[in-house]
A = this chain, B = another copy of it.
Amino acid sequence: MVDSGTEKAQVGKVSRPRGRPRSFDRATALEKALMAFWEHGYEATSVSELTSAMGIGAPSLYAAFGDKQALFAEVVREYGVRYGSFGDRALAEEPTARAAVERMLREAAVEYTAPGRPHGCLVIHAATNCTSPEVEGSLRDRRNASIAAFERRMRDDVEAGELPADTDVAALARHTGAIIQGMSQQARDGASREELEALAEIAMAIWPRT
């Protein structure tokens, strides 16, 4: 049952696997599950909601993804790649921590209110009020890891002389995290892209004047 999802690629010919072929596309089914979890969270999304959203029966779901928790873990991974990577990209590509945060907040306003998909951030919301400590903890770890990444990037800037030596990088990172989390919450509560952009712009005023 391990590695049940990956199709082993053969040299040259495609050579389909032995038994009855799967009647659905695994990637699109995963995407449907992602949307369902994103919209309603881990516990409030029942397996029957998942199966009907994914267009498959329950046994197919369990055969292809393990169980509900494993499917959610895979959804979270996929979310990180498809929707949650703008922060890492900003941190990696921008020349300064300040520019990275500014771009991150600006992009968050767009991402969190994008039409045609749930608002806000899956990592922030999908495992709140969750009976399983494992699931709740996995997303909490991700949130705290993000703040730690902010702090590392800021500390680099301090060491490079880009930020004042007495900068409280831990608090500055926490502040950035709070803004992101608050923006996500307000996107869920109906705030528009423009409103979040104005919020982000105000939040940038904590940085030393340019």
Interface residues of A (CB under 8 A from B): 40-44, 124-126, 128-131, 140, 143-144, 147, 168, 170-172, 174-175, 177-183, 185-186, 188-191, 195-196, 198-199, 201-203, 205-206
Query: How far is A161 from B92 in the complex, measured between Cα atoms in Å?
Result: 43
C-alpha gap A174/B183 in the complex (Å): 9
Roughly how many angstroms separate A203 CA and B143 CA in the complex, as a whole number? 20
Chain B residues with CB under 8 A of A128: 41, 125, 128-129, 188
Q: Which residue of B lies closest to A44 (CB)?
A: B129
C-alpha spacing A110/B98, complex, angstroms? 29
* With A172-B202, A174-B195, A205-B206: A40-B129 Cβ-Cβ less than 8 Å: yes
- Complex Cα distance, B128 from A193, in Å, reads 21
Contact of A195 among B170, B191, B195 (CB under 8 A): B170
The answer to whether A131 and B44 touch (CB under 8 A), given A180-B182, A186-B178, is yes
Q: In whole angstroms, how far apart are the Cα atoms of A179 and B183 in the complex? A: 9
Q: Which of B168, B178, B190, B199 contacts A185 (CB 8 A)?
A: B178
Q: What would 13 A/B residue contacts be, using CB atoms closer than 8 Å?
A: A43-B43, A43-B129, A44-B130, A129-B129, A140-B188, A174-B195, A174-B198, A174-B199, A178-B185, A185-B185, A203-B203, A205-B205, A205-B206
Residue of B nearest to A124 (CB): B185
Give, as a whole number of angstroms, the nearest-CB distance from A27 to chain B. 25
B178, A195: Cβ atoms under 8 Å?
Answer: no
Q: A44-B129, A125-B129, A129-B129 are in contact. Are A177 and B171 (CB under 8 A)?
A: no
A199 to B195, CA, bound (A): 22
Q: Which of B171, B180, B182 is A198 in contact with, Cβ under 8 Å?
A: B171
Contacting pair B172 A181 (CB below 8 A): no
Given contacts A125-B129, A126-B129, A189-B143, contact A178 B172 (CB under 8 A): no
Q: Considering the chains assembled together, what is the distance between the CA atoms of A36 and B40 in angstroms?
A: 22
**CB neighbours of A206 from chain B (8 A):** 202-203, 205-206
